Amino acid sequence: MIREGFAVIGCTRCRRMQVADLAHATKTCICGHKIDLAKTKLLAVSDSADEAGAILRSFTAPKNSGFVSAASMHSSSLADKTPKKDK
Ligand SMILES: [Zn+2]
């Protein structure tokens, strides 16, 4: 049975959160891990990829501005800021 829509899922190996198209049975994470969409927990489901992406960003958004969290490891480079060390 094919479901429609997009889900926010988390990779069980590298913990990255990402948007998966539910029309597919699996989603391959950028770490190479194949995620079975029938078995993984869907953190959120949306009709549109854009909306799912917005939900994903709300999940991965840093709690405090200026603080770089692990979420910044995500490859989507909206903010391409490289923190520099103080002298
Ligand atoms: Zn992964």
- Find the CATH number of the domain harbouring 39: 3.90.820
Provide the whole-model pTM.
0.67
Q: Tell me if 69 is assigned to some domain.
A: no
For residue 54, what are the domain limits? 6-63
Q: Tell me if 84 is assigned to some domain.
A: no
Q: Tell me if 73 is assigned to some domain.
A: no
Give mean pLDDT, residues 47-65. Answer: 88
Q: Measured between alpha carbons, how far is 82 from 87 in angstroms, rounded to an integer?
A: 15
Give mean pLDDT, residues 57-79. Answer: 62
Give me the chain's average pLDDT, please. Answer: 83
Q: Tell me if 79 is assigned to some domain.
A: no
Distance from residue 87's CA to the centre of ligand 1 (Å): 36
Distance from residue 86's CA to the centre of ligand 1 (Å): 33
**18 in helix, strand or coil?**
strand
Q: Tell me if 74 is assigned to some domain.
A: no
Neighbours of ion ligand 1 (CB under 5 A): 11, 13-14, 29, 31, 33
